Structure 1
Amino acid sequence: MASAAITLAADAPTLSSANTGFMLICSALVLIMTPGLAFFYGGMVRVKSTLNMLMMSFISIGIVTILWVLYGFSMAFGTDSGSLIGWNSDWVGLSNIGLTELWDGYTIPIFVFMVFQLMFAIITPALISGALADRVKFTAWALFVALWVTVVYFPVAHWVWGSGGWAFELGVIDFAGGTAVHINAGAAALGVILVIGKRIGFKKDPMRPHSLPLVMLGAGLLWFGWFGFNAGSWLGNDDGVGALMFVNTQVATAAAMLAWLIYEKIRHGAFTTLGAASGAVAGLVAITPSGGAVSPLGAIAVGAIAGLLCAMAVGLKYKLGYDDSLDVVGVHLVGGVVGSLLIGLFASGKGQSTVEGLFYGGGLTQFWKQCAGVFAVLAYSLIVSALLAFILDKTIGMRVSEDDEVAGIDQAEHAETAYDFSGAGGGAARTAAPAPAAAAASKKVDA
């Protein structure tokens, strides 16, 4: 008995300063993705909506952080209840967690895992905002974020990643968020826009991006931060899977960007910067669930297929008549579905698990598991998000007035404009009287 106890103690994980530092860096990388998303979306809208688009991402940082500390972490990763939700009263408010208490057999503190997962929770509702550009009240959006993460994101995160969650126990593979983040957000976006309707002038007025450099800056920040998003999700284990995920993230993103550009050149006759940025994001989305399960060659296939299918999917809104302003459905929902399902075909059995896909002799068993996870999350998020939007629309109203939408949501909701060409300032509240010397000079000029 004594020797067994000694062996058990020797095998117990101990705090690793290296892994702890690595995961804190990854957490910071994931956080920078949300400002990156703000720039990406902000450049894609018209000038009159730029600040609103930035703020819809930034407010998610504030709201979700507080809710995650109060109860979100407990709901997502606490003790399982019925395979649907978690709960741990000691984690409410993070009040009873030891500073060096380790996370579930890993070598990092619970606090480090908690803050890493917080960054995922922050960016997921921010992704939804791109579909709603130009027309949603900021107060209604903020309330929607609070309600949505509570009744959709926190439970779905438990299903997919929480010990005891039904998708986790079924064996659905989602390395870093294809279902919990991208399908979840894309389906929610579709549900909301079906309730609130189209922008004024949809399919009639030009609604081109006002700043492609901002779009490219945002895409670059997303690509940079995504290495923390993906590689960090192996939580610092030193078995090489995190390194594989890092490599596959780069490979799939490059393949998707090239595939999108080739499709765009054939279909529309030009290689566009917007296409390059969108293709890169499509590849990042698709490799997120699959990168730990496929080889680099598989990652090329995943990225290329996602780039092509997402490029084709963004045009569906004009054919089907739903106004997905910035192609959240076409990129995140479709990309998430593609990346998640392709695990059932391209899983090599040499990455995060021994599971093999159809093309590696494993049959369709994993493919059907992936289908279960994908379509359950899609249906739940779509329906519940639509209900939340309907309730808010019928109570406080989701949309700004027609006049405010036409004039510009930035001025109506934030009393500011993104660009002020009449003077040096960009704010709205420069109401102080001019200095006496300046006033005198102005009178001389007028005279």
Structure 2
Amino acid sequence: MSDGQLAWTMVATALVLFMTPGVAFFYGGLVKAKSVVSMMMMSFGALGLIAVLWVLYGFNMTAVDSPWAFAGNPFSDFGLATLAGSDDTGEGLVLSAFGATFAIITVALISGAIADRAKFWSWMLFAGLWATLVYFPVAAWVWGGGWIYSLGELMFPESGVAVIDWAGGTAVHINAGAAALALALVLGKRVGFQKGINKPHSVPLVMLGASILWFGWFGFNAGLTAAPLGEGGNAGTGLIVVNTLVAPAAAVIGWIAVEKFKDGKSTSVGAASGAVAGLVAITPACANLTPLAAIILGLIAGAVCALAIELKWKLGYDDSLDVVGVHLVGGLIGTLYLGFAAIDTGLFTGGGFEQLIVQFIGAVGTLVYSFVIAWVLGFAIEKTIGFRIKNEDELAGVDTVVHGEEGYAYEVK
């Protein structure tokens, strides 16, 4: 790395870390006033725990020597002691910190599915185990030489095709969305679960959180570039930045248009959710789409995710803050869309079916693995120490029961 690239990666690390408080604000605004502390604490708890686990052993697990390896040796450089003593340029340590921010926010995203009804320390236990057994290995599969990284070469060695996941369509969003669905099923429905059960207690917090996420996402997508800064190519910085701007912008339009058609009104929460859906969809694709293709992707993601959040009412799973409808569905859309529109290799852009096939296998493999492990972990925690709070505590308010705090303390004079 040049000095300029190293400096930008440090800035990008701070941007992506800031996204986790953005998630806390976004989720915190969506829940009831008596659950906002609990909701935000799950994001901040994940930040504290996963950062420590990443430095202790998680980073070591994210690179493998063989496509058939499950993960790297967690104890190969415990606590990054060797790297800290040998990294004269600081590049390795900065890249490690950058990777940590991805692990943190992936875990934090899951928490939205279990809002209003989860015990904090049960969540922390789940977060640590899931990161160890799922996120760290999946990061190795996708970016560290594992089976998803090598899938194109294994299946179509003459085609030059590889699974495209620039910044985490599979490793972050499908991964977190599948785990969120599993936990929603394990913990069951909130008391009084029905359409309209929960209105956001603070729309400004929701808008603030979405804005922080969009701001930080430029670090998320453009923090690492395959081409040096200032140079072109499909993975050039400029293309990534433009696509990170325009896809969520189009998704806002797609979401609020569906709202207007379906409900007669376009909402600010819908606009914020649309932006997040577009950001999710462009995450794997930002380096490999033309801006026009990114606009189309954003419109599709915004519209489809606006419809997908209704599935929980039809299918009966209580995904409190629509992690499944936004992150799982949005991640699948962005990942599979590359099979049709990726520059040079998509089905409609000069390639064959190979790109779509490897994208599909990578997405489904991640989804199934994450769902199964999350369900087993959640079920085991629920049956041992308990994961869900009591119904009467849920009605009284998670914040005071679990944390002994209130988000808003009003004095009555």
TM-score under structure 1 length normalisation: 0.87
Question: 1:406-421 maps to which residues of 2 (within 5 A)?
Answer: 406-421=395-410
Aligned to 2:25: 39
- What is aligned with 2:190? 199
In the TM superposition, 1:369-408 aligns within 5 A as: 369-408=358-397
How do 1:26-425 residues align onto structure 2 when only pairs under 5 Å count?
26-77=12-63, 79-80=65-66, 82-87=68-73, 89-98=75-84, 101=87, 109-163=91-145, 165-170=146-151, 171-203=162-194, 206-234=197-225, 237-238=228-229, 239-240=231-232, 241-349=236-344, 356-422=345-411
* Amino acid paired to 1:39: F
Equivalents in 2 of 1:242, 1:205: separation in Å? 42
1:19·1:108 contact (CA, 8 Å) conserved in 2? no
1:159-217 Cα shifts (integer Å, max 9, x gaps): 00002x00001121100000000000000000111111000011076310000000000
1:253–1:282 contact (8 Å) kept in structure 2:
yes
Structure 1 alignment gaps of length 5 or more: 1-14, 350-355, 425-447
Output the amino acid matched with 1:166: W
2: CA distance, partners of 1:243 / 1:53: 36
Range 70-79 or range 16-25, more displaced = 70-79
**Distance in 1 between residues matched to 2:74 and 2:237, nearest whole Å:** 29
Q: CA deviation at 1:77?
A: 2.5
Deviation of 1:296 (Å): 0.3
- 1:154 Cα deviation from its structure 2 partner: 0.4
Task: State the 1:271 CA deviation.
Answer: 1.2
Q: CA 1:254–1:297 in 2, change beyond 3 Å: closer, same or farther?
A: same
Distance 1:132 1:242 in 2: 36
> Residue type matched to 1:186 in 2?
G
Q: Secondary structure at the match of 1:167?
A: coil
* C-alpha displacement of 1:236: 7.0
Tell me if the contact between 1:137 and 1:413 (Cα under 8 Å) persists in the aligned partners.
Answer: yes
Aligned residue pairs, count: 399
- Name the CA distance, whole Å, in 1 between partners of 2:121 and 2:79: 25
Matches of 1:88 and 1:198, distance apart in 2 = 37
- Name which structure has the greater RCO, CA cutoff 8 Å, separation 6+: 2
The aligned residue for residue 155 of structure 2 is: none
Asked if the contact 1:99–1:111 (Cα under 8 Å) also holds between the matched residues in 2, the reply is: no
Q: Deviations over 1:368-403 (max 9, x none)?
A: 000000000000001110000000001000011111
Distance verdict in 2 for CA 1:152–1:143, change over 3 Å: same
Ranges of 4+ aligned residues in structure 1 off by more than 3 Å: 78-81, 98-102
Rounded Cα–Cα distance in structure 2 between residues aligned with 1:75 and 1:85: 5
Deviation by residue 1:205-237 (Cα, 9 ceiling, x = unmatched): 631000000000000000000000001132673
Q: Please report the TM-score for the alignment, with normalisation by the length of structure 2.
A: 0.94
Rounded to whole Å, the distance in 2 between the matches of 1:79 and 1:96 is 19
Q: Conserved in 1, the CA contact under 8 Å of 2:141 and 2:147?
A: yes
User: What is the alpha-carbon distance in structure 2 between the residues aligned to residue 303 and residue 345 of structure 1?
Assistant: 15
Alignment check: 8 A CA contact 1:174 1:290 kept = yes
- What is the rounded CA distance, in whole Å, between the counterparts of 1:98 and 1:192 in structure 2? 37
Counterpart-to-counterpart distance in 1, 2:189 and 2:67: 40
Alignment-mate amino acid for residue 199 of structure 1: R
**Secondary structure in structure 2 of the residue aligned to 1:252:** helix
